[in-house]
Amino acid sequence: MNPFSYHNPTRIHFGEGQIAAITAEIPKDSKVLVLYGGGSIKQNGVYEQVTQALSDHQWAEFSGIEPNPQYDTLMKAVEKIQTEGFDYLLAVGGGSVIDGTKFIAAAACFKGQDPWDILAKHAPVETALPIGCILTLPATGSESNKGAVVSRGKDKLSFMTAKVQPAFAVLDPATTLSLSPRQISNGVVDAFVHVMEQYLTFPVDAKVQDRFAEGLLLTLIEEGPKALENPDDLTVRANIMWSATQALNGLIGVGVPQDWATHMIGHELTGNYGIDHARTLSIVLPAVMKARRQDKEAKLLQYAERVFGLTEGSTDSRIDAAIAQTEAFFKAMDVPVRLTDAGLAESDIQVLVSSLEKHGMTALGEHGRIAIADSEMILNTALAH
Ligand code: NZQ
Ligand code: ZN
């Protein structure tokens, strides 16, 4: 196991009715800006609960943060904050709203010339406004981590700083009952791939991280399809919600090598073709598993045995079966597993390769050995059935 320091300062309020906890979490004397997306919170009762909980606070709202939040939209919120003087941000929604709020929190305090530099040049974030969040879509882990992904046209870039980690996160599984089947699937698959990015690398004898990761994978494989079959089952939603948070709150990633090639390639698919984040991952991950099977052999065998009970046969056949089972799980979640499933063709691969190059994604993976030509090979592997 590699050395690490770990601190996760986000206080979690989990369970039905916990939105009420924001009353005590947000300082009474603060001027709060509530940020949300396209309006799902107005249809599922979340907005009313927020209004009630903030009845003794001074607050206003900013809506319209879109999926894959766009820089120009977020800068409108920054302008509002700077003219009206808000000092606390409450994000209410999925990963896009929370990520967008993280960027807004940093950009509102940014002293440099151009806030886009936070993403494009990794300009340091010295201070940011405090953030709390109410999560309505279990997927990204953004509610208790320090990362955010922001888009500007076709450029989809990320930044990470402890300065934007939410102070608290409300996780009420009941808020997720209004999700469409597509968003349920997206969330389960995103969380699954987050675990894989931190697990499917090479062994460093990190037994706790490995077994926690396997527990999350097993839970998502077990509960994901149930959420589609029994959409009213709150227990299923609770287990998915807690899994998604644990998948990317830093815990399983401490002291272990991490991959993230699937995500970096996936971001280009979203940036260029607008494919939902999770659906890019379900296309790219199987191809990464195939193309990097030598680098990942030991962990692929461990995954095959501990997650799917595959212990018989040659190394190759166990790895093939584990990849096939992964694809079967994605299919059960009704997400695409090939570029052609998402309507892309061979001619699109060059566009993706050029974008990877433009964004400096030239040394991906746990060894930094996935060069542009290797990403091209992965995309070719992901092309068709
Ligand atoms: O905008 P509203 O009206 O709220 O509708 C949203 C949106 O259309 C809807 N939704 C959310 N909660 C709902 C609901 N609809 C009904 N009932 C509810 N309870 O779902 C749609 C998608 O929302 P979005 O926030 O875009 O989804 P998700 O949570 O999957 O976030 C995706 C974004 O997060 C980034 C992705 O790249 C993408 O931009 N990621 C962030 C990460 C992080 N910060 O750590 C890591 C991830 O790997 C990921 O990259
Ligand atoms: Zn993701």
Token reading at 342? 């998402």
- How many C-beta neighbours within 10 Å does residue 84 have? 10
Q: What is the pLDDT of residue 39?
A: 95
Using the CB atoms, write b or e for 165-197: b if 16+ within 10 Å.
bbebbbbbbbbbbbbeeebbbbbbbbbbbbbbb
**Same domain (yes/no): 64, 205:** no
374-378 mean pLDDT: 98
149-155 mean pLDDT: 96
95 alpha carbon – ligand 1 mean position (Å): 4
**Same domain (yes/no): 29, 142:** yes
Helix/strand/coil for 376: helix
Using the CB atoms, write b or e for 35-62: b if 16+ within 10 Å.
bbbeebbeebebbebbeebbeebebeeb
Tell whether 2 is covered by a domain.
no
- How many C-beta neighbours within 10 Å does residue 344 have? 23
328-334 mean pLDDT: 98
**Same domain (yes/no): 148, 185:** no
Q: Give dist(CA 286, CA 292) in Å, integer.
A: 10
**Same domain (yes/no): 167, 206:** no
**Same domain (yes/no): 234, 325:** yes
- Nearest atom within ligand 1 for CA of residue 193: 48
Q: What is the pLDDT of residue 347?
A: 97
266-292 mean pLDDT: 98
**Same domain (yes/no): 200, 349:** yes
Burial of 117 (0-12, 13-18, 19+ CB in 10 A): middle
Burial of 210 (0-12, 13-18, 19+ CB in 10 A): buried
Which residue, 118, 142, 176, sits at the end of a domain? Answer: 176
The total number of structural domains that make up the chain: 2
Q: Pocket residues for ligand 1 (CB within 6 Å)? A: 37-41, 44, 67-68, 93-97, 99, 136-137, 139-142, 145, 147-149, 175-176, 178-179, 183, 186, 190, 248, 263, 277
Q: Using pLDDT thresholds of 50, 70 and 90, give the confidence band for residue 269.
A: very high
**Same domain (yes/no): 248, 171:** no
Could you say which ligand is closest to the alpha carbon of residue 149?
A: 1
Asked if 284 contacts 378 with a C-beta cutoff of 8 angstroms, the reply is: yes
pLDDT tens digit sequence for 160-215: 999 999 999 999 999 999 999 999 999 999 999 999 999 999 999 999 999 999 99
227 alpha carbon – ligand 1 mean position (Å): 17
230-240 mean pLDDT: 98
Q: What is the pLDDT of residue 297?
A: 98
CATH number at residue 31: 3.40.50.1970
The helix (run of H) or strand (run of E) holding residue 224 is: helix 207-229
Tell whether 349 is covered by a domain.
yes
In sequence order, what DSSP letters do the residues of 21-86 get, joined into one string? GHHHHS-TT-EEEEEE-SSHHHHSSHHHHHHHHTTTSEEEEE--PPSS-BHHHHHHHHHHHHHHT-
- Nearest atom within ligand 1 for CA of residue 190: 48
Residue among 19, 41, 61, 99 to mutate when testing ligand 1 (max atoms within 8 A of CB)? 99
Q: What is the pLDDT of residue 89?
A: 98
Q: What is the pLDDT of residue 77?
A: 98
47 alpha carbon – ligand 2 mean position (Å): 26
Q: What is the pLDDT of residue 374?
A: 98
Residues spanned by the domain of 69: 11-176
Q: Using pLDDT thresholds of 50, 70 and 90, give the confidence band for residue 254.
A: very high
248-269 mean pLDDT: 98
The chain-wide mean pLDDT, for the chain, equals: 98
Q: What is the pLDDT of residue 361?
A: 97
Tell whether 1 is covered by a domain.
no
Tell whether 285 is covered by a domain.
yes
**Same domain (yes/no): 38, 166:** yes
**Same domain (yes/no): 365, 274:** yes
> What is the percentage of the chain residues whose pLDDT exceeds 70?
100
Residue nearest to atom 34 of ligand 1 (CA): 95
Residue nearest to atom 42 of ligand 1 (CA): 140
Q: Using pLDDT thresholds of 50, 70 and 90, give the confidence band for residue 332.
A: very high
Residue nearest to atom 20 of ligand 1 (CA): 183
Tell whether 6 is covered by a domain.
no
Asked if 289 contacts 326 with a C-beta cutoff of 8 angstroms, the reply is: yes
Q: Give dist(CA 87, CA 44) in Å, integer.
A: 27
Q: Using pLDDT thresholds of 50, 70 and 90, give the confidence band for residue 353.
A: very high
Residue nearest to atom 38 of ligand 1 (CA): 68
